């Protein structure tokens, strides 16, 4: 009897676990917050490409538009993003042990108490042109392509990426795993797919931006190519600004404030060189920047604008099969192509934020309280106006800092991600200045300036379109978990 009771109890526990309601915070338009058991089991959601019924256990967040302007956004626990309208007129919740039916149109946001899950065993990531993105399986094995020289059928398993361009007769650029490339028009009217959440979808190519196939996706967690050229900067905290009270510090380095960086990132050990930038120009047909007759090779690239630097980062990302860090509006995007300011979710190569740059310059998790990046003596670590012979020098010729990173001090000043803005005393986590304006931050000083402007905490800024012979850049990449 005792054994039977135990089995019954176990079954009850399993039953209770399986059918327990999802917990969620429901935020109402009037500001009320209702910590709830979410009793509605399925969410009907209509998008411009179909109606989906999502089991609630797959949902992460639903954000309703302010005052009905625009569309509702839905995120799944796999990080998928959908924009459309919620079709459930009412939602059933249990608040403080009482059931309550609430009108969906009165809700501002539903945050489900779920952890994001790393999707596994799927065929593709698919990004739509409107910013929606999802993960799933292909329901067919191949697709017909009509090129200007003939028609063929290609298997998805041989593909690395398809990018769709144009409208109407959508031109598809297909990159194959073996390095092959083909351009043509996909003959199928639509592509039949299935989401991880078992929802089926048929989608016309016109709506798709690009599809990344599984083997390509697996590269994402890998280290950068030539990883010996990269330093890992571990998450941590530091005092940003002139925390040493250097006499030559400027007002814009104050007030000092505590900054926490919650993710690890790779930083290239040296500034982007002419060799590297010229390879990019050759691959993309861009004009190579002038070297002022100082020589190219391992000297840091100069005469590049902020946008030039950004485009180089995106090219590097695409080359390594990563989702580019910048979208068409030059705004940061996450691994699913959603615009973001959360740097921990940006997958591709990008420019460092000002905080990331200064944290690395100060030794990151191996903090060293030096004036310059790796020393109090500038001649040990950097090229500046008095020792540079008034030009750039090959990278990596001075001592690196504690992280093994060269030339953070001097040689060329380095474009950063942020727009210029004044510091405040507030503690910050993963700060990024996105306010816009007329100038972007540059850091590190250069061969052209005096030592005080090459200090770790010294700040400068330039109009993003400017190209100077003392200004280059360095690349970073978040270690995406």
Write out the residues near another protein by the rule CB under 8 A.
28-32, 46-49, 51, 65-73, 83-85, 87, 89, 103, 105-106, 108, 128-131, 167-169, 189-190, 203-204, 206-207, 209, 328
Smaller CB separation from another protein, 106 or 365: 106
* Least Cβ distance, residue 336 to another protein (angstroms): 14
Smaller CB separation from another protein, 31 or 150: 31
Smaller CB separation from another protein, 207 or 480: 207
* Least Cβ distance, residue 213 to another protein (angstroms): 22
Smaller CB separation from another protein, 188 or 237: 188
* Least Cβ distance, residue 255 to another protein (angstroms): 37
Pairing of strands 72-76, 81-86: antiparallel
* Least Cβ distance, residue 103 to another protein (angstroms): 6
Residues in Cβ contact with 155 at an 8 Å cutoff, skipping those fewer than 6 apart: 141, 142
* Least Cβ distance, residue 69 to another protein (angstroms): 5
Smaller CB separation from another protein, 48 or 275: 48
Smaller CB separation from another protein, 47 or 461: 47
Is cis: bond before 255, omega within 30 of 0?
A: yes
* Least Cβ distance, residue 474 to another protein (angstroms): 31
* Least Cβ distance, residue 105 to another protein (angstroms): 4
Smaller CB separation from another protein, 167 or 225: 167
Smaller CB separation from another protein, 85 or 294: 85
Token code pair at residue 121: 């065993």
- Cβ contacts of 182-188, under 8 Å, gap ≥ 24: 182/145, 182/147, 182/154, 183/147, 183/148, 184/145, 184/146, 184/147, 184/148, 185/145, 185/146, 186/143, 186/144, 186/145, 186/162, 187/143, 187/144, 187/145, 187/146, 187/151, 188/140, 188/143, 188/144
* Least Cβ distance, residue 217 to another protein (angstroms): 23
Token code pair at residue 287: 């004009």
* Least Cβ distance, residue 66 to another protein (angstroms): 8
Dist. CA 51–CA 53, nearest whole Å: 7
> Which residue is associated with the tokens 């329901």?
139
Kindly report the CA angle at 221 between 215 and 225, in degrees rounded to 5?
90
Kindly report the CA angle at 93 between 88 and 94, in degrees rounded to 5?
170
Dist. CA 287–CA 408, nearest whole Å: 27
Smaller CB separation from another protein, 68 or 436: 68
């Amino acid at each position: 009897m005792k054994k039977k009771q135990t089995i019954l109890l176990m079954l009850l526990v399993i039953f209770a676990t399986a059918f327990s309601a999802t917990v969620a915070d429901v935020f109402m338009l009037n500001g009320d917050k209702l910590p709830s058991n979410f009793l509605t089991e399925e969410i009907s959601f209509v998008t411009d490409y179909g109606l989906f019924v999502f089991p609630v256990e797959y949902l992460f967040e639903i954000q309703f538009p302010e005052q009905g302007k625009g569309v509702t956004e839905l995120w799944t626990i796999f990080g998928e993003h959908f924009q459309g309208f919620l079709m459930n007129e009412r939602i059933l919740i249990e608040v403080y042990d009482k059931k309550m039916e609430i009108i969906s149109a009165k809700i501002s946001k539903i945050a489900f108490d779920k952890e994001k899950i790393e999707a596994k065993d799927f065929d593709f990531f698919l990004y739509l042109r409107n910013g929606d993105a999802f993960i799933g399986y292909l329901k067919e094995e191949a697709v017909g392509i009509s090129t200007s020289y003939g028609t063929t059928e290609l298997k998805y398993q041989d593909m690395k990426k398809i990018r769709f361009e144009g409208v109407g007769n959508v031109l598809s650029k297909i990159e194959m795993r073996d390095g092959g490339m083909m351009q043509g028009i996909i003959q199928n009217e639509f592509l039949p797919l299935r989401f991880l959440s078992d929802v089926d979808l048929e989608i016309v190519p016109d709506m798709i931006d690009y599809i990344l196939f599984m083997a390509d996706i697996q590269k994402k967690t890998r280290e950068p190519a030539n990883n010996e050229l990269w330093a890992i900067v571990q998450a941590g905290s530091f005092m940003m600004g002139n925390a040493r009270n250097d006499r030559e510090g400027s007002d814009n380095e104050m007030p000092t404030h505590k900054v926490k960086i919650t993710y690890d990132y790779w930083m290239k050990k040296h500034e982007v060189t002419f060799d590297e930038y010229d390879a990019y120009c050759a691959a993309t047909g861009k004009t190579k920047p002038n070297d002022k007759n100082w020589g190219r090779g391992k000297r840091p690239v100069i005469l590049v604008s902020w946008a030039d630097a950004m485009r180089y980062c995106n090219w590097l990302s695409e080359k390594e099969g990563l989702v580019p860090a910048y979208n068409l509006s030059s705004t940061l995007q996450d691994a699913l192509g959603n615009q973001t300011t959360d740097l921990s979710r940006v997958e591709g190569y990008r420019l460092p934020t000002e905080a990331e740059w200064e944290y690395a310059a100060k030794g990151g998790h191996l903090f060293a309280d030096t004036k310059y990046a790796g020393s109090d003596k500038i001649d040990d670590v950097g090229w500046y106006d008095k020792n540079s012979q008034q030009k750039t020098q090959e990278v990596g010729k001075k001592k690196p800092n504690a992280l093994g990173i060269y030339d953070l001090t001097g040689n060329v000043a380095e474009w950063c991600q942020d727009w210029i803005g004044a510091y405040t005393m507030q503690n910050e986590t993963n700060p990024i200045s996105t306010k816009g304006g007329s100038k972007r931050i540059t850091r590190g000083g250069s061969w052209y300036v005096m030592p005080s402007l090459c200090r770790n905490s010294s700040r400068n800024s330039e109009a993003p379109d400017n190209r100077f012979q003392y200004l280059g850049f360095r690349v970073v990449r978040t270690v995406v978990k």
